[in-house]
Amino acid sequence: MSVDGKFGNYGGQYVPEALMPAIEELEDAYERYVLNNEDGFMDEFRTRLREFGGRPTPLQRADRLSERYGREVYLKREDLVHGGAHKLNNALGQVLLAKYMGKDRIIAETGAGQHGTATAMACAHLDMPCEIYMGERDINRQRPNVFRMKLNGAEVNPVTVGRGTLKEAISETMRDWATNVEDTHYVIGSVVGPHPFPSMVRDFQSVISEEARTQAREKMGRLPDSVLACAGGGSNTMGAFAEFVDDEEVGLYAVEAGGSTLEVDEDAGVAPNSASLTTGSEGILHGARTTILQDHDGQIMESHSISSGLDYAGVGPELAYLVDIGRVTAVNVGDDDALTAFHRLSQLEGIIPALETAHAFGYLERVAGPDSTGEADDLGEFVVVNVSGRGDKDLESAIEETYERDIDIAPNMDEFTGGL
């Protein structure tokens, strides 16, 4: 694993000069506290993850999915982490690191609101002031999370430029950081951005695969044949994969948001998907060289996904690299199949997944479900799916999106007065 910030051709530090000293300071702190456990930083982080965060999360056998797909399906239950998503692992790590560094203000961006919520909770827990930037469009799509952030004492700053989604929120947070760099730490929410963020966020999230690896040996008596995780920026993906990367026999599948179509309209600057690993190309965005959705001139395209958390035009540089060298397989699932999987998991397993997570289950259905074409042979007998988060935050948009589509397994709400 890289500690110099380069993953093959990807990674690096492409940021305004004003931020470089802060990045160097962070690099130093990352090496001392995270990599070398100086002052017992990692010990404190682990303790807080356990006691505040509720770790370890279970690796649960999914009985009905196992039956449906004719193999052993296990769920890594990150939806059970405090706050309802894997995001807390990273937010808690970074806010704690900021404290060790002597910073006295936290800023963060959020798309679906899950990272903003996790950061706001970590800040409340560790007594740090917190401001969250969120696209206006996402604020409208994710009101419960906005409320949760504010409940935890964070300020939420709406971002109105562009399309008002995660991409714009990241740019805006970088601007704030450039202005207040001396006393402020920017908690990036995924394995993206300039070094050391991609490595550091991966390390904070790798607790997922560290636990899953041990739990797999206990429960299956072996390592899984494959691990599936949804991929937007790629933080739960890298977290679920990190400790398996050296186990060449374990297949790793990153499931991106295929949106409404994989066709990209370069002239309009619009990608109706967020599948940067599948439809993107190499470029530089938000501080790193990686795979991004861009037109032939290098302008960043507007992305789309039913899930705000996957709606981002880039992906972490390490994940892009692992796909390039063939260690990770990038696949994608569109809006319709993800939404159907959202309903299916809720009904079969009693787990309402985040719409992000539903993409991973959509892939499982496509390759191993009753209508599949046999691609599932690659997945093998023992499959782990990372349940990156729970779907409570998505209920409003799930209701809306469900009624725009004809999903035969969706609940019928017409019998209630006024419907929904």
Partner 1 sequence: MSLEDAFADGPAFIPYLAAGDPDYESSLEYVEALERGGADIIELGLPFSEPIAEGPTIQNAVVRSLQGGMTPTRFFEFVEDLDVSVPLVCMTYYNLIYRYGDEPGPRPFVEKAASVGIEGFVVPDLPAEESDPLREACDEFGLDLVFIVAPTTRGERLERIMEQVSGYVYVQARLGTTGAQSEVSDETGSSLGRLDGYDVPKAVGFGISSGEHAERIVRSGADGIIVGSALVDIVAEGHERGSDPKTVADRLETLARELKDGAVAGASQRPPHPERT
Write out the residues near partner 1 by the rule CB under 8 A: 12-18, 20-22, 24, 161-162, 167, 171, 174-175, 178-182, 269, 282-287, 294, 296-300
Contacts of 198 (CB under 8 A, 6+ apart): 5, 7, 11, 191, 192, 288, 316, 317, 318
Of residues 6 and 68, the one with the C-beta less far from partner 1: 6
Nearest to 338 by CA among 305, 375, 376: 305
How far is Cα 273 from Cα 279, in angstroms, rounded to an integer?
Answer: 9
Among candidate residues 235, 388, 393, 401, the one labeled active-site is 388
CB of 192 to partner 1, least distance (A): 13
Of residues 72 and 172, the one with the C-beta less far from partner 1: 172
Of residues 215 and 294, the one with the C-beta less far from partner 1: 294
Among candidate residues 76, 87, 103, 167, the one labeled active-site is 87
Report angle CA 303, 308, 311 to the nearest 5 degrees.
25
What is the full DSSP assignment across 188-224?
A: --SS-SSTTHHHHHHHHHTHHHHHHHHHHHHHTSS--
Q: Does residue 109 have an active-site annotation? A: yes
Of residues 267 and 377, the one with the C-beta less far from partner 1: 267
How far is Cα 412 from Cα 420, in angstroms, rounded to an integer?
Answer: 10
SS3 content of the chain, % helix, strand, coil (to 5): 45, 20, 35
CB of 323 to partner 1, least distance (A): 18
How far is Cα 172 from Cα 166, in angstroms, rounded to an integer?
Answer: 10
Contacts of 205 (CB under 8 A, 6+ apart): 86, 89, 90, 191, 235, 236, 238, 239, 240, 242
CB of 165 to partner 1, least distance (A): 12
SS3 state at 154: coil
Token digits for 31? Answer: 């090496």
CB of 384 to partner 1, least distance (A): 35
Of residues 267 and 415, the one with the C-beta less far from partner 1: 267
How far is Cα 361 from Cα 80, in angstroms, rounded to an integer?
Answer: 17
Among candidate residues 78, 109, 302, 356, the one labeled active-site is 109
CB of 300 to partner 1, least distance (A): 5
Of residues 176 and 396, the one with the C-beta less far from partner 1: 176
CB of 18 to partner 1, least distance (A): 4
- The burial of 145, by beta-carbon neighbours within 10 Å (0-12 exposed, 13-18 middle, 19 or more buried), is given as buried
Catalytic residue list: 87, 109, 388
